[in-house]
Structure formats: structure tokens, C-alpha cells
Copies of this chain bind each other. A is one copy, B any other.
Amino acid sequence: MTERSQDEEKTSRGPQAGKAPQAPQAPQAPQATQAEKAGKAEKAEKAAQAVKGTKAAKAGKAAGRAVKEAKASAPAGGAGAAKTGPGRGEQTGRPAQARAAHGVSRRRLLGTAGAAGAAGLVAGGAAGAFAGETVRKDPAPLNGVGSASRPFHGAHQSGIADPAQTCGHMAAFDLAPGADRKAAAALLRRWSATAADLMAGRTPQGDGSGVALDAGPCSLTVTFGFGRTFFDRTGLAAKRPAALEPLPAFTADALDPKRSEGDLWVQIGADDALVAFHALRLLQQQAGSAARLRWQMNGFNRTPGATAQPMTARNLMGQVDGTNNPKPSDPRFAGHVYVPEDRGGADAWMAGGSYAVVRRIRMLLDSWDNLSLERQEKVIGRRKSDGAPLSGGTETTPVDLDKFREDGSLAIAGDAHIRVASPASNRGATMLRRAFSYHDGFLDDGAPDAGLLFVAWQADPLKGFVPVQRKLDRGDGLSRFLRHESSGLYAVPGGCAPGEYVGQRLLEG
């Protein structure tokens, strides 16, 4: 029955697809007038273009152009964006008018200039309706959570140096048997155009799913990477970076190959679950016949506003996690995280890119929670309450690995996680960790299937993740509470300019 309906309906999709989802929402508000006009003009323009299938590339270029104009004065992404771009809760630099003119905003455009000032009102206006009550007052402007956006175009892809969002999806795809370099290029072009639209809060052409309607961009990021096998399948083995050599085996590894590696990797993050799901679903659909989903995982972090302190996140062990991450303000940050721009040779296409090590690390929480607080803190080397190192001070006080307590013992134990993982113990090896927690229910024995979707970013995994993990594998007191259940290593190219797509330098270089 379902199959029949699929066939039945497919033919009627074309003429409708680009049309109705872009209809302005609830036309009663006078502020919407300008936006509606812009929306209609855009709709007419888009209706004149082809929507589906092989025309996607063209649509992608059009979207690219629109973004170029809209973003003319916007800062570039990556490290630059980390300093100058909008953080959570701040207004984006682009005026609402620019967005109205160049894309179909998912929501009625509302004056956002006064949003910060009127945020007291916003807090109430953004309140959810009671389950039984539809509250439809005069629409209030989005608060920072909804309106915040990250740049798609720039020197680096977003989703690396910017804050990890509330909701995350990781997905790997394998190219279909027949798919070649050309098919892969078309896929990356489609995906890039869609990611650019979604990250700006626009509804991509032909998307009638409606799942993210009414929502702002919600800090959505979509980040693309290439696995080791991608290069064989596309005849690009000569351009495969040496850094993609398989990771060594570690003793805490219990890897599931079905949930590891993959030709293509996509990382999605957003501060709203529907916005994140919408992006994932759309990218999966656009993979079409070119690629198939290999694995997919869901993760989460704290909701903006849940804590008054914009502090380092906690993981599901309750521990403040990420304190010693390299800081974008550090002049060495780019060197640690990004492949240099002046890179020559076979992998010159990776300039501005980064390497992502992605690991599903299950926490043995039943064992961990049975430790006393004192033992937990000793294993980590930090106080649980505030993340301060056991050598003293506050969370951000530099760790003193040589400090002794009055009883003559080391303040930071010999097998404490922060000692074994510290750059000082690893000849300066540094990576940027940007993780999500995950919880996929419980195993048959009642133990939580929960832990960390660990993502480490570095210019060279052989100088970042590998030496640190090797050391942790031997001497870390924490490792007996962890199981690495899946692993992936991906070359994440630099960001692209408007009109280009991610990976273009590789696929057309």
C-alpha cells in the first residue's frame, strides 16, 4: 500500500515542490508585509528555474550567488569567525533586510535590531505553549538561540572552532558501487548548496518537508569530510594525504567496523533538534543514488541558557571536560588545528582544512558511579564541582604536575587523566576536542548505552590524537571506564568561497 502510494504520488511532486513551503507564515502581522513581498519575488524567480534532479547543480550555483551578495560584509569563517563571528545568544552581523532580499527566510522577518533590548519580552514570547493551549500572540523576535547563525563560506568549514551545539548528528556515507569522481563532485555540490541555505535559515529549493519551518538557523553547522576509502573509489589515491593512514590499534578499542570509517563523513550541529534532524534527513535524501548511509549517531550538549555560567561542558561522567583545549585566541591555535595555507604537494587541496578523529566512546557509568567522589577526582585530576585541578586554583589555573601534597604524594596522581593527556607529557601534542554526549538507551544488562561522541580536530593526527591516545592507552586511570566502540578518521577540507563547493579543489583540482 505504501509502495503504491509512493509511485502514485511521485509525479505530482514537481510543480508543488518549490512552492508552498515557502508561503509566508500566518499573514496577519503587519511586520510581515515586506518579508512577504520579498518571499513572493523570490518564489517567482525560483519557479522559473528547474527544481529537481540534474538541475540541482544549477540551483546550487544560484544559491551560492545569493549567499555571496548577502554575505558581502560578513566575516569569513573558521578561526576568524571564532573571534569576530557571532557566539550563541548574540545577534548575527547581517541585517534582516539582507536575508530577506537574497533568500527565502523560513520565518517571517521581524525586526531583530531591537531583539537584545526587548529580550525580557522575548523570554516570555518564546515560551512554549501549554500542551492544551495554542498561544499565538503578536510574534516576538527570535532570541539569540534561534537567530544565531554560522557562516558556511570562509577559509575553514564551520563546526570546528565554534561552540558545539545542543544537538549533533554524525553520519558516514559510502559511495554507491557505480559512483565515480564526477558523481561525488555533483553530490558535494548539492550538499554544499543545501548546507549554505540551511545554515542561513533558508528553505532549499524543492524541500517541502517543513520540519524546520518557523525556526531560525539555530547555529546550524554542516561539516563535510573524506575518509581513506573515498580516494580509492574516486580514482584519487594519488591525492590521499599521508595523514589518513589508519590509526593504530589501542587496547581500549572494541571497534564495530559497521559503525566505523566510511567514504564520506558529515557532522551536523544545531541548537534545535528539529533543525538538526531536518538537515540530516535532507542530506540523506540528496545522497540519492550516489551514496548510501553507512552509519549515523546522535549526540547532545547543554541547552543554551540552562546554565548561567558559559563554562566548559560537562560529560555524562559529570566531569568538566575540555578545559585544556587550545584557545582560538592563542596565536598557535591555527597551527594546531588547521593544515597550513602554503601546503604544497599531493594534498595541497587540504590547505585550510583539518583532520577529524571521530570516536564513539562508551562510558562504563555503572562502574564509574560506584567510585567515591574522591576516587573519581583522583582518576581525572580535577575537582568535579568546578573542574579545578587538584594542584589548586580554579578551572583555568594551569595544572601543576610537580606539586606534592603534605603527605608526600603527587597532587595530580601518576595515572590521572589530565597528567597522561597533557601536552607536557606528549611533547606538545595538541588537539581540539569538540564532543557531543550520546545516550541510546540501555543495554540488556541495564547499563546505559551512553558516553561521548568524541571529535578531535588537528592539523595532523600523527601529532595530535595518535601520540596522546597511545599514552592514554598505556597509563590512563580513566581508560578502564571507557570502551572505544567505533572510530573514523577524516580529511576535512578547508571552507569554500561563494559559488564553490566543499572539496572542489580535490575533485576538480
Contact = CB atoms under 8 A, between A and B. Distances in A.
B12 A128 contact: no
Contacts of A137: 310
A409 interface: no
**Which of A9, A82, A273: most chain B CB closer than 10 A?**
A273
Contacts of A306: 142, 145-146, 215-216, 218, 271-272, 274-275
A365 B117 CA distance: 41
A149 interface: no
A263 to B, nearest CB: 15
A87 interface: yes
B120 A307 contact: no
A312 B134 contact: yes
B123 A144 contact: yes
Contacts of A432: 131-132
A293 B110 CA distance: 47
Interface in A312-341: 312-314, 316-319, 322-323, 325-330, 333, 337
Interface residues of A, number: 151
SS of A interface (majority): loop
Interface stretch (A184-192, A203-211, A224-232): A203-211
A439 B325 contact: no
Interface string A275-313: 101000100110000001100111011111111111111
A223 to B, nearest CB: 12
Contact of A370 (B6, B24, B136, B371): B6
Nearest to A208: B373
A80 interface: no
Contacts of A165: 128
A26 interface: yes
A140 to B, nearest CB: 5
A480 interface: yes
A437 interface: yes
A256 to B, nearest CB: 13
Interface stretch (A14-22, A69-77, A415-423): A14-22
Nearest to A7: B370
Contacts of A130: 82, 87, 161-163, 327-328
A191 B274 CA distance: 31
Nearest to A217: B306
A267 interface: no
Contacts of A48: none
Nearest to A448: B281
Given A128-B88, A273-B437, A446-B293, A385 B210 contact: yes
A372 B17 contact: yes
B163 A143 contact: no
Contact of A126 (B117, B304, B371, B388): B304
A352 interface: no
Given A134-B311, A308-B107, A372-B13, A316 B87 contact: no
B210 A127 contact: no
Contacts of A164: 128, 131
Given A210-B385, A446-B284, A446-B292, A373 B21 contact: yes
A25 B123 contact: no
Interface in A348-373: 364-367, 369-373
A307 B208 contact: no
A369 B285 contact: yes
Contacts of A322: 131, 134
23 contacts: A2-B480, A5-B370, A5-B480, A6-B367, A12-B374, A20-B374, A25-B309, A26-B388, A26-B394, A82-B130, A87-B130, A89-B126, A125-B310, A130-B161, A130-B163, A131-B162, A131-B432, A134-B323, A146-B306, A208-B369, A273-B437, A274-B301, A284-B446
Q: Which 6 A-B pairs have the closest CB atoms?
A: A210-B318, A145-B305, A128-B163, A272-B306, A89-B123, A119-B119
Given A6-B366, A273-B303, A284-B442, 4 more contacts: A3-B367, A15-B372, A126-B144, A214-B307
